[in-house]
Amino acid sequence: MTDPVAPTGTGTDNIATVDRFLFSLRGPDLDTAADLLDENLVYQNVGLPTIHGRARTLKLFKGMEGRNLGFDVKIHRSAADGVSVLNERTDVIRIGPVVLKFWVCGVFEVHDGRITLWRDYFDQFDMAKALVRGVIGAVIPGLRPRL
């Protein structure tokens, strides 16, 4: 008999949900992103303030639309254990001519096909190097970081 309160979805399903979510931010396809986030999402970039709720998280990304800002992602590896998905990836944030490319480790929890927790860890020194490389690439386009 199935426990009605137990989360559904396999580890593979949960990895696919996280991948689809991250790839939707590239477009950005915020309708797809919204469909994959739980209403009570907790979004943490460790070291920065925590954002509570799908609406607040989407507001952050909607603010990037049409402002010469962009996002890209390359997922290097993912693993799942029940509702938890961990991934190692490279994120790319474009702010006008400045391109920041940096390593991220993400922890997600997926319940019934929706992400309830999104926690990203990144190295502050790596982020500082990404900023220096991004500024140099803005001045010398041939040196601009690529995914």
Return d(Cα 135, Cα 147) in angstroms, integer. 16
> Choosing from 13, 120, 123, 126, which is the catalytic residue?
120
Annotated active-site residue 91? The verdict is: yes
Return d(Cα 28, Cα 128) in angstroms, integer. 25
Annotated active-site residue 38? The verdict is: no
Return d(Cα 18, Cα 80) in angstroms, integer. 10
Question: Running DSSP on this structure, what letter comes out for residue 12?
Answer: H
Cβ–Cβ < 8 Å for 98, 134: yes
Question: Running DSSP on this structure, what letter comes out for residue 19?
Answer: H
Return d(Cα 127, Cα 132) in angstroms, integer. 9
> Choosing from 13, 31, 81, 91, which is the catalytic residue?
91
Tell me which long-range contacts 88-91 makes (C-beta under 8 A, separation of at least 24).
89/22, 90/147, 91/122
Which residues are tagged catalytic? 91, 120
